[in-house]
Amino acid sequence: MGSGKTTAARYFERQFGIPVFYADDEAKKLYDLPEVRRAIENTVGKDVYDANGKPDFRLIASRIFKDEQMLRRVENILHPKVKEAFAKWKSGQCMPYVILENAILFETGMDALCDAVLFIKAGEQERIERIQKRDGFSEQAVRDRLKYQNRIIPDREKIKFIVENSGNVKDLYSELNKIHWIILNK
| Domain 5-184, classified CATH 3.90.79.10, yes or no | no
Sign for the CA dihedral angle at 135, 140, 146, 152 comes to: negative
State the pLDDT confidence band at 156, using cuts at 50, 70 and 90: low
Q: What is the pLDDT of residues 97-141, one digit of tens each?
A: 999 999 888 888 898 999 999 988 888 888 888 888 888 888 888
At residue 131, the pLDDT reads 84
Q: Please write down the HEC assignment for all residues of 1-26.
A: CCCCHHHHHHHHHHHHCCCEEEHHHH
Quote the pTM value: 0.85
At residue 126, the pLDDT reads 87
What's the rounded Cα separation, in Å, for the pair 89 and 102?
15
Q: What is the pLDDT of residues 27-77, one digit of tens each?
A: 999 999 999 999 999 999 999 999 999 999 999 999 998 898 999 999 999
Ranges of each domain in the chain: 5-184
Residue 50: exposed, middle, or buried by beta-carbon count in 10 A (0-12, 13-18, 19+)? exposed
Q: Are 179 and 161 in contact (CB under 8 A)?
A: yes
